[in-house]
Amino acid sequence: MASSDYNDEKPVLMPHSYDGIQEFDQSLPNWWLFTLFGSIIFSALYWAYYFHSGVAVDDHTALDEDLSVLEAKQLAAVKDLNDETLWKMSRNVQTVAEGQAVYTSLCITCHGPTLAGVKGIGFRLNDANWVHGDTPTAIYRNISDGIVFDGKPTGMAPQKALGTAKIAAVTAFLLSTQEPGKLAVIPRSEEPSQK
């Protein structure tokens, strides 16, 4: 290192001595002070950003998000959709969000913004009662094939054109409000949105 300000002048020896150790009266080099104060400022900013800003994503959350993206991809690649896979999808935030987007663009007009149904039009989808089938695969089939009642097509037209992935996602979205084992079939006349 080239000569710097602090050692241009001859260092002055301080008068005291502790255990035979003496000390020069010399200020610390600026580069050293810079790293000291720099790290103090950095630690304060780090602490404020990661623990108090609400903006930073902590490692656990970031990992959970990554794993959920990975799981969503794995589930979407499953060829034979069954009840178990659809339940798993319904607990995956990515898949449920995709399904919600499909719901918002295509189903909301007849089934309502809160899935509570629209009187005289679409059935209620947020309670445990299902008219046309109470298993995940039955719900999937009702969306994909549409619903025929008394030999006549109902307002629930087939959605097959959406493709398996989107139908599975919207099924997962509907199931995300449900608990496995709690779903039940009710008679069509008992469906609350039709009374």
Q: Which of 193, 183, 190, 16 is nearest to 86 (CA)?
A: 183
User: Is 159 within 8 Å of 106 (Cβ atoms)?
Assistant: yes
User: Is 159 within 8 Å of 143 (Cβ atoms)?
Assistant: yes
Q: Which of 113, 115, 87 is nearest to 181 (CA)?
A: 87
Using CB under 6 A as the binding rule, whether residue 183 contacts ligand HEC is answered as no
Using CB under 6 A as the binding rule, whether residue 130 contacts ligand HEC is answered as yes
Please report, as residue ranges, which positions from 64 to 93 form the binding site for ligand HEC (by CB under 6 A): none
Using CB under 6 A as the binding rule, whether residue 109 contacts ligand HEC is answered as yes
Q: Which two tokens stand for residue 83?
A: 């009840």
Range in contact with ligand HEC (rule: CB under 6 A) among 28-36, 61-69, 87-95, 143-151: 143-151
User: Is 30 within 8 Å of 50 (Cβ atoms)?
Assistant: no
Using CB under 6 A as the binding rule, whether residue 193 contacts ligand HEC is answered as no
Choice between 86 and 170, CB closer to ligand HEC? 170
Using CB under 6 A as the binding rule, whether residue 122 contacts ligand HEC is answered as yes
Q: Which two tokens stand for residue 104?
A: 């918002």
Using CB under 6 A as the binding rule, whether residue 176 contacts ligand HEC is answered as no
Q: How many residues does the chain have?
A: 195
Using CB under 6 A as the binding rule, whether residue 170 contacts ligand HEC is answered as yes
Residues that bind ligand HEC (CB under 6 A): 103, 106-107, 109-111, 121-123, 125, 130-133, 139, 142-143, 147, 149, 154-156, 159, 170, 188
